[in-house]
Structure 1
């Protein structure tokens, strides 16, 4: 399912900015891979992606920067929050 369900117009493309998100996950690499899979399928360009998962630590963290409009950012956060492994999403 793509985050972009409508046809993009020039003003929409011009309104895109790089938006950074900090995401806390549970489930180790499995949780991080759920988020990575969703990012891959969302249809938005991922400009930056980094992950921190440590053995013995209950939560992992993921940060990513995507080029999107304000409306897409709201839908993106809502979609992330539906994933079972996502504990929190902080648009930075």
Structure 2
């Protein structure tokens, strides 16, 4: 006897955490959050660390997406002037 399981052919979405380093203080963070707002239903959590007198800020978010979408997501965010890096957590 053999048992087969039908697997979906489409890639499944999972929560993927990214850390985004920005410059330009609060303005840089707000530019990134404006981009994240476009995929608001996919963003499950977000935390921001902005400190006065520090050159860079950190934004960490978990977004529900496929592996391919994650690569496109990071590439798109890197095009923003305030973004220094986008790294998987």
TM-score category of the 2 structures, normalised to the smaller one: 0.7 to 0.9
How many residue pairs get aligned? The number is 82
Q: What TM-score, normalized to structure 1? A: 0.83
Runs of 4+ in 1 over 2 A off after TM superposition: none
* Partners of 1:58 and 1:67 in 2: CA distance: 29
Alignment of 1:1-92 (within 5 A): 11-12=9-10, 15-42=12-39, 45-92=42-89
Q: Compare CA radii of gyration and give the structure with the larger one.
A: 2
Q: What TM-score, normalized to structure 2? A: 0.85
Q: CA-atom RMSD, angstroms? A: 1.5
Worse overlay, 57-66 or 34-43: 34-43
| Offset from partner CA, 1:36-85 (integer Å, 9 cap, x none) | 00001136510110000000001000000000001100100000000000
Contact 1:80–1:86 (Cα < 8 Å) also in 2: yes
Unaligned stretches of 5+ residues in structure 2: 1-7
Pick the structure with more helix per residue. 1
